[in-house]
Amino acid sequence: MIREAAWRVFAAEFNDATLEVNGGGDRAPSYVITPLGAKVNRIYAVGVVTDVENIGTDMQPMWRARVQDPTGTFHLYAGQYQPAASAVLSKLKPPVFGAVVGKSRTYTPDSGTVYTSIRPEIVKTVDENARDYWILEACQSLKRRLDAMAEASRMDPPSKEALVKLGVRESLADGIVQAVGHYGMADLSRYTAMLAEALRYLLPEYRGDRSPETVVADIAPAAPEKEPEADAGRETSVLEVIVELDKDGKGAPWDAILTGAKAKGLSKEDLEEAINGLLDKGLVYEPVLGRMKKI
């Protein structure tokens, strides 16, 4: 059995994925297929570890970590069956550059929303150079998918054989056909903009007068500057929603929070930001993936 390749995929693309396929059979690997056709079983990511938290118990710890890249956040979950990764995560002092090798996972609450996460095999602290090199590799990998997807967009319908004939690797061609079948044609302009943004992130001439330290904090360049008071207001509203919805004490389900937040005039992005803020402040936590609970 050939070892699965570790894909270099940006968090935004990985988190956009809602398709998980099983190779069939008992021991066949499963893959998370992104809208651009990356068939991810194993992933390699380098970013800023922004927080690590034990969401299990002292006896049975379950470490959750967030790793940020220029496009978004990877979510890591490591428990007793990932002893090496857990040991490293338990000692990590964020913020720190971290490299992660792990398996792709999805979690689907009843509503059908799909959350992707990484079950880490290896976590290691690295330096900025390793992170920059990873961004470059992830850009090159993204570019290959964009080019192949552009070819696929000229076919009706895209076929694996025709893509392979054009020089697209078989595994990617297969991923693209499955992706188009599930998501429809990907929004190429959006991902091309993401690619350009990630490349600019590496270049000092686009950094303006921001000091290197703020670059890390300012990692989602698409998000406009927010007034701190507005943030606080949103967070209070979201916290209210969470408490209201947590009827059985198991935490409020994400979809209900989203509906509740929309009723209060908050967009999905507003909500995500508010939740991140609340998580950072330690006001809420995720008892299980997809549920939020007030501490």
The two tokens of residue 108 are 């689907």
Q: Where are the extended beta strands (E) located within the chain?
A: 6-7, 19-22, 30-33, 39-40, 42-54, 63-69, 72-78, 96-107, 115-125, 252-253, 284-285, 291-294
- Amino acid 175 reads G
Using the rule CB under 8 A, which residue among 62, 126, 243, 283 binds other proteins?
Answer: 126
Angle between helical axes of 228-245 and 268-281 (0-180°, round to 10)? 90
181: contact with other proteins by CB under 8 A:
no
Q: Which stretch, 58-66, 111-119, 138-146, 262-270, contacts other proteins (CB under 8 A)? A: 138-146
Of 29 and 287, CB closest to other proteins: 29
Q: Which stretch, 200-208, 212-220, 258-266, 267-275, contacts other proteins (CB under 8 A)? A: 200-208
**Rounded to an integer, what distance in angstroms lies between the CA atom of residue 107 and that of residue 98?**
24
Q: Which stretch, 19-27, 112-120, 176-184, 221-229, contacts other proteins (CB under 8 A)? A: 19-27
Q: Which stretch, 55-63, 140-148, 225-233, 252-260, contacts other proteins (CB under 8 A)? A: 140-148
Return the DSSP state at 147: H
40: contact with other proteins by CB under 8 A:
no
Phi-psi region at 41: left, alpha or beta (left = phi > 0; alpha = psi -120 to 50): alpha
Q: Could you identify the residue written with the tokens 């350009």?
A: 196
44: contact with other proteins by CB under 8 A:
yes
Q: Please report, as residue ranges, which positions from 87 to 106 form the binding site for other proteins (by CB under 8 A).
A: 99, 101
Min separation Cβ 205 and other proteins, Å: 9
143: contact with other proteins by CB under 8 A:
yes
Sheet holding 252-253, edge to edge: 252-253, 291-294, 284-285
Q: Which stretch, 18-26, 103-111, 221-229, 279-287, contacts other proteins (CB under 8 A)? A: 18-26
Min separation Cβ 12 and other proteins, Å: 17
**Rounded to an integer, what distance in angstroms lies between the CA atom of residue 155 and that of residue 207?**
39
Cis peptide before 287 (omega within 30 of 0): no
Of 168 and 275, CB closest to other proteins: 168
**Rounded to an integer, what distance in angstroms lies between the CA atom of residue 146 and that of residue 135?**
16
6: contact with other proteins by CB under 8 A:
yes
Q: Please report, as residue ranges, which positions from 212 to 271 form the binding site for other proteins (by CB under 8 A).
A: none
The helices-and-strands tally (H runs, E runs) of the chain is 10, 12
2: contact with other proteins by CB under 8 A:
yes
What is the contact surface with other proteins in residues (CB under 8 A)? 1-8, 23-25, 27-28, 44, 46, 99, 101, 121-122, 124, 126, 129-130, 132-133, 135-137, 139-141, 143, 169, 171, 192, 195-196, 199-200, 202-204
